[in-house]
A and B are shown apart, each in its own frame.
Chain A
Amino acid sequence: RKEVEQDPGPFNVPEGATVAFNCTYSNSASQSFFWYRQDCRKEPKLLMSVYSSGNEDGRFTAQLNRASQYISLLIRDSKLSDSATYLCVVNQAGTALIFGKGTTLSVSS
């Protein structure tokens, strides 16, 4: 079983749509959780951290369910510029980040 598993993609949505990505992780000792964004042929960049209480950053909302070992990312009012690959990432304290395979989002006009 992979350490971090994500929804298979790609997700193709029109502008203005709401889209949700899901992710599960296998190591119950995982302590930190993130969503990274990776544009085509670019390096990954941190989109947002994910906290147990849930957190929001503009049109983006992240949720964590430790009991189910499940992480989600919701994007509201999708923009063309949201087209990218979204990587679910976890780690334990002091260890390197473990990345999921990524889910590709394509937003069209």
Chain B
Amino acid sequence: EAGVAQSPRYKIIEKRQSVAFWCNPISGHATLYWYQQILGQGPKLLIQFQNNGVVDDSQLPKDRFSAERLKGVDSTLKIQPAKLEDSAVYLCASSLVQGLGYTFGSGTRLTVV
């Protein structure tokens, strides 16, 4: 079974620039999550999708972050404009059942300079 695919693996941008991350979940997994993990912290949920609908985006900084999962399969997370404090690893995960049986992707490491 193929895992959760994420790209790019690494990204360095200047503050105020825009950046987008892509995630392709495990085939058949209806639930998709984006987490932000700042160095030394645990992953923090940004947004949860069930198929192409948003279940929880309460912790997504909506003034600069946006995410979509238009066809209920792959997803894109965008930051515009980026701030220094957005430097983190962005982890995508998917699951067959909401809240259980997560599989994480390898993450995208973002550095904002």
Q: A residues touching B (Cβ–Cβ < 8 Å)?
A: 4, 32, 42-46, 87, 91-102
Contacts and interface: CB of A to CB of B under 8 A. Distances in A.
Contacts, number: 46
6 contacts: A43-B91, A44-B104, A93-B99, A96-B99, A97-B99, A98-B45
A10 to B, nearest CB: 11
Report whether over half of chain A's contact residues are helix, strand or loop; otherwise say mixed. Answer: loop
Contacts of A42: 106
A91 B40 CA distance: 21
Interface residues on B, range: 20 to 34
B55 to A, nearest CB: 8
B105 A95 contact: no
B102 interface: yes
A96 B102 CA distance: 10
Nearest to A95: B99
B104 A92 contact: no
A91 B100 CA distance: 9
A90 B102 CA distance: 13
Contacts of A99: 35, 42-44
B34 to A, nearest CB: 10
Contacts of B107: 43
A97 B45 CA distance: 8
Given A43-B91, A43-B105, A43-B106, A102 B99 contact: no
A87 B91 CA distance: 15
Contact of B102 (A92, A95, A97): A97
